[in-house]
Amino acid sequence: MTGVVPDPLPGWLTAATGITALTGAGISTDSGIPDYRGPDGVWTKDPDAEKLVTLSYYVRDPDIRRRAWLMRRDLGARDLAPNAGHAALVDLDRQGRLRTLITQNVDGLHQAAGSTPERVLEIHGTVHEVECLGCRARTTMHEALDRVAAGEPDPACLVCGGILKSATISFGQMLDPEVIEAAVDAAADCDVFLAVGTSLTVHPAAGLVDIAVRHGARVVVVNAEPTPYDDVADLVVREPIGSALPRLVAPPA
């Protein structure tokens, strides 16, 4: 089924007690964070911007690092708040039907909305912390941006002098194996796999759908644009996430 949220909802969805959700950039666009690969995405409009989040460019080019810090400064200055999509997943959590919330986003808006932190897996890290690429020392993004504001265009690690980067996973950087293992377990152990606002083109996140299907889960895709997994989904919804998701996860009557 493709298009709109069905009324009534299918029984397999309302009866689901172990839902694993995967969210991508699309769930945060209503909070003022642009997506990356959509028609109006950051990288669609400016392919060169992808260099700012590509590890090889970041490590070897000080100008890329300076631009990246300016981007982080500008993002940090914005007043971002969770939206109805985030709130819907909090509601699902409080119903006791959310097994795990896997997110490709680094914005922390799921936790800000009230999702149980222990249920949230940030497979691409978080923008709220900074990590040294040398000694792995961590500090807050706020502290690093204070140094940028004070005149350090490319602040170095205060522990070892190494290169600092947001604690996000850049292109060419290894994912945290423990986080990925937990995400695989969550996909293999659910009755419904709910993919929201993700293009399902980036692996290993996209491959979680395959794992869920292989273990007998139903799949729901909520995304404005077609995805490679629409054909295997039991339900595909193209409606805006902020209005569709609250109806999809409404508690059973």
Q: Looking at residues 175-180, what average pLDDT do you find?
A: 95
Parallel, antiparallel, or unpaired for β 125-132 and 138-140?
Answer: antiparallel
pLDDT of residue 91: 97
* Selected catalytic residue, list 86, 124, 142, 203: 124
Q: Looking at residues 132-139, what average pLDDT do you find?
A: 96
pLDDT digit string, tens, across residues 48-67:
677 888 999 999 999 999 99
> Residues of the chain with pLDDT > 90: what percent?
82
Q: Looking at residues 34-55, what average pLDDT do you find?
A: 66
pLDDT of residue 245: 97
DSSP 1-34: -EES--SSPPHHHHT-S-EEEEE-GGGGGGGT--
Using a 10 angstrom Cβ sphere, with 0-12 exposed, 13-18 middle and 19 or more buried, the burial of residue 44 is: middle
pLDDT of residue 113: 96
pLDDT of residue 75: 76
Q: Looking at residues 228-232, what average pLDDT do you find?
A: 97
Rounded to whole angstroms, the Cα distance separating 221 from 239 reads: 11
pLDDT of residue 106: 93
pLDDT of residue 180: 97
Neighbours of 251 (CB within 10 A): 11
pLDDT band at 223, cuts 50/70/90? very high
pLDDT of residue 33: 79
Q: 113 and 89 in contact (C-beta within 8 Å)?
A: yes
pLDDT digit string, tens, across residues 188-211:
999 999 999 999 998 999 999 999
Q: Looking at residues 215-241, what average pLDDT do you find?
A: 97
State the chain's mean pLDDT as an integer: 92
Rounded to whole angstroms, the Cα distance separating 80 from 82 reads: 7
pLDDT of residue 35: 60
> Residues of the chain with pLDDT > 70: what percent?
92
Q: Does residue 10 or residue 73 have the better pLDDT?
A: 10
| pLDDT greater than 90 at residue 76 | no
Give the predicted TM-score (pTM) of the model.
0.89
| pLDDT greater than 80 at residue 253 | no
pLDDT of residue 46: 60
Q: Looking at residues 86-98, what average pLDDT do you find?
A: 97
- Whether the link from the prior residue into 39 is cis, omega within 30° of 0, is no
* Contact partners, residue 164, CB within 8 Å, separation at least 6: 130, 131, 132, 133, 144, 155, 156, 157
| 124 catalytic per annotation | yes
| pLDDT greater than 90 at residue 117 | yes
Q: Looking at residues 13-39, what average pLDDT do you find?
A: 86
Look up tokens 């996909």; give the residue. Answer: 187
